[in-house]
Amino acid sequence: RLAAVSLGLLSVVLLISIILLLINFNHLTAARDQLQTSYTNLTAEKDQLQTKKAFVEGWRYFSSSVYYISTEKKSWSGSREDCRRKGADLVIINSREEQEFVDSLSVCKDAAVFIGLTDQDTEGIWKWVDGSEPTTLYWMSGQPNNGGWTKQDCVVTGPQLGKRWNDKPCQNLQYWICEKKLKDI
């Protein structure tokens, strides 16, 4: 009788152990699946970051955008075309901080650079390349003046201008700065 009771208790303990092992196995399987999903997501994210890194080499980061300063000079339309080939557009300046950043980029060229502001469509109505009107203006004293003797519909900025804008003929050859929002990369 004692042997039968002991054998019965041993069977119950063995059954409980098997049930606990199965429960533990199910938890381990779920944990493994969760780790695999995390690994897959991290691998995809790593690949995206490598793509972004490859894109931004040669570009400089500032406040949720990347900026590229040209190494050659072109007209305003040629400059814009180059930016578009890069998946960007000429820079749109939305704040004093961004103006200072853009000027810090142009310091290395020691030259004025085209930005994405023009009044080519309607004289005196300045618009950014995205069609919006500027909310903050950084014109040099006496600017814009349309040059008087030649049509000046495109804007340059640069530290030698006192960190201010000047309207220039669009056919002038200048360096330029492209901007691309990080969310668009």
> Into how many domains does the chain fold?
2
Per-residue pLDDT tens over the stretch 150-166: 789 999 998 766 668 99
135, 94 contact by CB (below 8 A): yes
Q: Assess whether 167 and 101 both reside in one domain.
A: yes
Q: Assess whether 72 and 100 both reside in one domain.
A: yes
Find the domain containing 98 and state its range.
60-184
Cα separation, 74 vs 82, whole angstroms:
9
Q: Assess whether 50 and 119 both reside in one domain.
A: no
Per-residue pLDDT tens over the stretch 70-110: 989 999 999 999 999 999 999 999 999 999 899 888 877 67
**Which of 57, 78, 94 is at the close of a domain?**
57
The three-state DSSP-derived secondary structure of 87-154 is: CCEECCCCCHHHHHHHHHHHHCCCCCEEEEEECCCCCCCCEECCCCCCCCCCECCCCCCCCCCCCCCE
Q: Assess whether 41 and 76 both reside in one domain.
A: no
Beta-bridged to residue 168, according to DSSP, are: 154
**Which of 19, 40, 57 is at the close of a domain?**
57
Per-residue pLDDT tens over the stretch 113-147: 999 999 999 988 999 999 999 988 899 888 888 77
Q: Assess whether 67 and 8 both reside in one domain.
A: no
Q: Assess whether 109 and 96 both reside in one domain.
A: yes
In this prediction the pTM is 0.69
Q: Assess whether 53 and 77 both reside in one domain.
A: no
Q: Assess whether 113 and 72 both reside in one domain.
A: yes
User: At 75, which CATH number?
Assistant: 3.10.100.10
Residue 5 φ/ψ, nearest 5 degrees? -65, -45
Q: Assess whether 102 and 131 both reside in one domain.
A: yes
Q: Assess whether 80 and 26 both reside in one domain.
A: no
CA angle centred on 100, ends 158 and 62, rounded to 5°? 120
